[in-house]
């Protein structure tokens, strides 16, 4: 993007799959499936808009509390997403990054994820996916690692966050109208702009990401100089 006030790193709390399905009298699984299609659109839109990094909250450490069937639907969606998109990501030079304790997932998913991490490692832009992620857990882990090396300071903690190699978070979006952070990127949000959008995640498209980035650019121009 030519405009230097455009965001480099956008993160999204993808919320509203269940409500989208309910509105259509469909099972929640179909809401998640439609959510998976919105993920594909968002990744494409991020490329078109020239973002360096898109971070998506796909499975929180609290999501294990959901019904077993729903967890299994989400896991299957993940398996299919990797299978269907890996080649495309390699060709488009998108590097996959995972934030969170993904090793708690089923061995076949861990294997697929690690294969995808390796095969996309040369990518120029990043799709970071939060899997079994919780920000408080991330900060506690980083503080523990920092303490093992010496002093605990904001810098020494930051160095051990999952996001240490990503550009600073510019914009955090949550869909579905809920106004909460739900244990997502709490440290990284310290200086980020936030946008709570009244659209259910399965309805999210290029126009929403574009509008969000334009809103960010407007705020930057008004309050810039940070
Ligand atoms: C929130 O909707 C969404 C989730 C908990 C899961 C997000 C996962 C996806 C969008 C698809 C899989 C992602 C990848 C990267 C393949 P909700 O169920 O909390 O909705 P509700 O609040 O309306 O019930």
Evaluate whether residue 225 is within a structural domain: no
Q: Where are the alpha helices (DSSP H) in the chain?
A: 17-23, 28-49, 68-91, 107-119, 135-149, 154-158, 206-223
User: Does residue 66 line the site of ligand 1, with CB under 6 A?
Assistant: no
Q: What is the DSSP letter of 150?
A: S
Radius of gyration of the chain (CA): 17
Evaluate whether residue 144 is within a structural domain: no
Residue 214 tokens read as 């334009």
Q: How many CA atoms lie within 13 A of 141 on its CB side?
A: 13
User: Does residue 16 line the site of ligand 1, with CB under 6 A?
Assistant: yes
Instruction: For residue 43, give the CATH number of its domain.
Output: 3.40.1180.10
| Residue from 63, 76, 101, 203 carrying the catalytic annotation | 63
Counting from 1 in the atom list of ligand 1, the atom nearest the Cα of 202 is: 10
**Tally of structural domains, the chain:** 1
Evaluate whether residue 59 is within a structural domain: yes
Evaluate whether residue 150 is within a structural domain: no
Evaluate whether residue 223 is within a structural domain: no
At 78, is the secondary structure helix, strand, or coil?
A: helix
The pLDDT assigned to 225 comes to 57
Evaluate whether residue 172 is within a structural domain: yes
The answer to whether residue 63 is catalytic is yes
The answer to whether residue 85 is catalytic is no
**Distance between Cα 122 and ligand 1 center (Å):** 28
User: Does residue 77 line the site of ligand 1, with CB under 6 A?
Assistant: yes
**Distance between Cα 178 and ligand 1 center (Å):** 13
The range of the structural domain enclosing residue 31 comes to: 9-134+168-217
**Distance between Cα 201 and ligand 1 center (Å):** 8
Evaluate whether residue 130 is within a structural domain: yes
Question: CB of 136 within 8 A of CB of 158?
Answer: no
- pLDDT (tens, 9 = 90+) of the chain, 226 residues, equals 446 789 999 999 999 999 999 999 999 999 999 999 999 999 999 999 999 999 999 999 999 999 999 999 999 999 999 999 999 999 999 999 999 999 999 999 999 999 999 999 999 999 999 999 999 999 999 999 999 999 999 999 999 999 999 999 999 999 999 999 999 999 999 999 999 999 999 999 999 999 999 999 999 877 665 5
The pLDDT assigned to 1 comes to 46
Evaluate whether residue 222 is within a structural domain: no
User: Does residue 130 line the site of ligand 1, with CB under 6 A?
Assistant: no
């Amino acid at each position: 993007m030519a405009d230097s006030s455009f965001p480099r790193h956008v993160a999204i709390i993808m919320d509203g799959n269940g409500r989208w399905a309910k509105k259509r009298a469909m099972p929640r699984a179909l809401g998640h499936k439609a959510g998976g299609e919105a993920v594909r659109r968002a990744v494409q839109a991020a490329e078109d808009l020239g973002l360096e990094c898109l971070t998506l909250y796909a499975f929180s450490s609290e999501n294990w509390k959901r019904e077993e069937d729903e967890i299994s639907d989400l896991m299957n969606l993940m398996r299919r997403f990797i299978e269907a998109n890996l080649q495309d990501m390699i060709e488009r030079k998108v590097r996959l990054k995972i934030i969170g304790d993904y090793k708690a997932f089923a061995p076949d998913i861990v294997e697929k994820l690690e294969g995808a991490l390796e095969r996309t490692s040369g990518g120029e832009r990043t799709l970071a996916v939060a899997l079994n992620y919780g920000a408080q857990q991330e900060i506690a882990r980083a503080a523990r690692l920092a303490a093992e090396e010496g002093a605990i300071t904001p810098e020494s903690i930051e160095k051990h966050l999952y996001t240490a190699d990503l550009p600073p978070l510019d914009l955090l979006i949550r869909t579905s109208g809920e106004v909460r952070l739900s244990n997502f990127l709490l440290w990284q949000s310290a200086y980020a702009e936030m946008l709570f959008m009244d659209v259910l995640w399965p309805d999210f498209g290029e126009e929403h990401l574009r509008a969000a980035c334009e809103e960010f650019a407007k705020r930057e121009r008004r309050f810039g100089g940070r």
